[in-house]
Amino acid sequence: MLVLASSSPQRRAILERLGVEFVQRPSGIAELKRGDPAAIARENALRKARAARLAGAEESVLGCDTLVALGGVVYGKPLDESDARTTLGALSGVRHEVLSGLALLEGSRELTAVARTAVTFRELSDELIDWYLATGEWRGRAGGYAIQGAGAALVRSVEGDYENVVGLPLATLLDLYPELLNG
């Protein structure tokens, strides 16, 4: 039994598309936001998985945390529209990293990994930012955008795992947990 320690509809959709049977059990933990971006993503994923694990249950628990980083600054989910505007402005016209930490717990085993994808934004005019903010899509999204939706209009290029930018780095997950597709 796979437990996804997340309420993310994007993560759910990726697993469903693969035909993976799982249950969602969001952990609701407070996420770390400061420090080395890769370490934060890995630690947040591990905390989520540990919080979602049921004592004595024979299950595999998957935790994931996705964040955006630029020059050592971590951009998580914007607090409000003003924060989203500031984030999108900072990412305008530049290459940033999307990092996802993965943690897989099985019995006493704790496996972790971090995926990195480079995303370059177009130069974003105030009008384009206004348009995107009006969609409301920025809410609850690391870096204030959703590449699989209207946020695609903000992006010039993606180098690496597209699914990582959506929220679940599939290639890294399958490296960590090749049994995922056997069940």
36, 65, 83, 130: the active-site residue:
65
Residue 7 burial (CB count, 10 A): 13
| Residue 65: active-site member | yes
Using a 10 angstrom Cβ sphere, with 0-12 exposed, 13-18 middle and 19 or more buried, the burial of residue 176 is middle
Q: What distance lies between CA 133 and its chain's CA centroid?
A: 20
DSSP assigned state of 49: H
Q: Where are the alpha helices (DSSP H) in the chain?
A: 9-17, 37-52, 81-91, 126-135, 162-166, 170-176
Task: Measure Cα distances from 121 to 51, 70, 152, 153 in Å.
Answer: 35, 12, 9, 9
Residues with active-site annotation: 65
